[in-house]
Each structure stands twice: as C-alpha cells, then as structure tokens.
C-alpha cells in the first residue's frame, strides 16, 4: 500500500468539505450535496481499486485460479 493514496483521499476530503462549505454559505445546498456525493464516489473508486489489488495479491500468494 502506498502512502500517496492516503494523501489523495485526505486531499479529496478536504477539498470537498471546503467546496461544500462555500456552496452552503451561498445558499446552493443542492449543488453542495452533489459535490459531496461526487467526492464520495471518487473516493470509493480509489478504495475499490486498492481492494481489487489486494484480492489479486491473495490469489497469487495462495495460487488460486
């Protein structure tokens, strides 16, 4: 696991929260919710990619398939 992925996730969370706060202060709650959901989807794709790599490593270690 690379430490850079953790920094990417942290940066994504900080950026999404900053944009969310700015949009809520300017009374654009719907767009703020969409931005938050988009950041969540991007973060989940990063995590799912790491989990897929983990399963590939487990397969290769135990010589499955």
Tell which wins on pLDDT, 19 or 2: 19
What's the mean pLDDT in 2-30? 94
In a domain, residue 36? The reply is yes
Confidence (pTM): 0.80
In a domain, residue 44? The reply is yes
Q: Per residue, what are the HEC states of 3-57?
A: HHHHHHHHHHHHHHHHHHHHHHHCCCHHHHHHHHHHHHHHHHHHHHHHHHHHHHH
In a domain, residue 24? The reply is no
Structural domain of 33: 29-60
Q: Quote the number of domains for the chain.
A: 1
Tell which wins on pLDDT, 43 or 63: 43
What's the mean pLDDT in 33-41? 96
What's the mean pLDDT in 3-11? 93
What are the tokens at 25?
């202060």
pLDDT value at 64 more than 80: no
């Amino acid at each position: 696991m690379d430490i850079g992925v953790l920094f990417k996730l942290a940066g994504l969370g900080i950026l999404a929260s900053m944009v969310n706060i700015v949009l809520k202060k300017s009374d654009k709650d719907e767009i703020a919710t969409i931005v938050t959901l988009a950041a969540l989807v991007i973060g989940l794709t990063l995590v799912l990619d790491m989990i897929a790599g983990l399963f590939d490593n487990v397969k290769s270690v135990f010589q499955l398939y």
